[in-house]
Structure 1
Amino acid sequence: MTTTLHPELDLTVSRIIKAPRSAIWKAWAEPQSFEQWWVPAPAVCRVRDMDLRPGGAFRTEISQDGGAFGPHITGCFLAVDELERIVFTDALVAGWRPAEASFVTAVITMKEHTDGTEYTATALHRNIADRDEHEQLGFYDGWGTVIRQLAERVESRARPEAC
């Protein structure tokens, strides 16, 4: 199933990451790795639940200032196509149970590229007001920073060691 994009409702960021899809997938699939790049530094992420399968829980917390952790994302994975696509939403929680509130569904795609991997993150919103709010909250800066952090992490590990 492909996602139909609606420019008036969706926000997208994309980057060529100079690393194989397997490295990016691993950065998503291993909670200890995921915590290192998922929120814009200097904020810190903590993974509470990550069951990377359709219907699996996805729950992270954030500490903005090195203090107490608070809620960040509480949601559910909708689609998990290894090395290709991850779709999650905050409209549902684990086991497909409805959430109290909903703001976004995200589609992450990873495609082969001559320089590595084309990584695209799209945030789908139910209406223009939610899209505009997400953009005003700093979608491009925040999600762009997160993708840069992911790229730095996987690219540094993908470089061959100097002889």
Structure 2
Amino acid sequence: MNPELDLTIERIIRAPRKVVWDAWTDPGSLAQWWVPAPTLCRVDRLEVRPGGAFVTRISDDGDTFDPHLDACFLQVDEFERIVFTNAVDSAWRPADPAPVAMTAEITLGDHADGTDYRIVVRHGDPAARERHAELGFADGWGTVAGQLARFVERVP
């Protein structure tokens, strides 16, 4: 973690790692929590493997879904880690994504109360990190982490 280039979110989720993993890797589950409510998410492609596509769209009205994320997975360690980037799109082409290019690493660890959930979002330079922070990284990614927690904590 480089504080000049990276932003982080950490929380304890009161659910087993497998349940959190399944929420990340099942398209129907991911659509339930991946974007801050009340915005809706549609998962077009979720190929959770190195080189696999990660493509979502969002809607504020439930009718029109606009592009949200076109990314690819870089590393996948079952039940432990997911790494994806939007700097390379789902067709493996270099991308110039708005608002910033990033690589996100999600790690899941055992915790006495469930899952130690950590996100590190890496940026190419301090300006990109600052822009992402100013655009509401903490609120956006924090809200989504909270939605994930609520989603998995109610799973039997």
**TM-score, normalising length from structure 2?**
0.94
| Residue of structure 2 in register with 1:151 after alignment | 149
- The secondary structure found in structure 1 opposite 2:154 is helix
44, 48, 51: which is aligned to 2:44?
48
> Is contact 2:55–2:90 with CA below 8 Å preserved after alignment?
no
| Residue of structure 2 in register with 1:116 after alignment | 114
> Is contact 1:56–1:76 with CA below 8 Å preserved after alignment?
yes
16, 22, 29: which is aligned to 1:26?
22
**TM-score, normalising length from structure 1?**
0.90
Q: Percent identity?
A: 55
| Residue of structure 1 in register with 2:103 after alignment | 105
Question: Gaps spanning 5+ residues in structure 2: where?
Answer: none
| Residue of structure 2 in register with 1:141 after alignment | 139
Q: Distance in 1 between matches of 2:15 and 2:86?
A: 29
130, 133, 137: which is aligned to 1:132?
130
- The secondary structure found in structure 2 opposite 1:143 is helix
Matched, 1:37 2:33: yes
> Is contact 1:50–1:58 with CA below 8 Å preserved after alignment?
yes
Judged with a 3 Å threshold, the aligned counterparts in structure 2 of structure 1 residues 111 and 89 are, in CA distance, closer, same or farther, namely same
How far residue 95 of structure 1 moved from its aligned partner, in angstroms, is: 5.5
Question: Gaps spanning 5+ residues in structure 1: where?
Answer: 159-163
How far residue 66 of structure 1 moved from its aligned partner, in angstroms, is: 3.3
> Is contact 1:56–1:77 with CA below 8 Å preserved after alignment?
yes
What RMSD, in angstroms, separates the aligned Cα atoms of the two structures? Answer: 1.3
Q: Distance in 1 between matches of 2:58 and 2:86?
A: 16
Counterpart residue identity of residue 153, structure 1 = F
Matched, 1:94 2:90: yes
| Residue of structure 2 in register with 1:11 after alignment | 7
- The secondary structure found in structure 2 opposite 1:153 is helix
What is the aligned residue count?
A: 154
Q: Distance in 2 between matches of 1:96 and 1:74?
A: 10
How far residue 100 of structure 1 moved from its aligned partner, in angstroms, is: 4.2
> Is contact 1:56–1:95 with CA below 8 Å preserved after alignment?
no
- The secondary structure found in structure 2 opposite 1:157 is coil
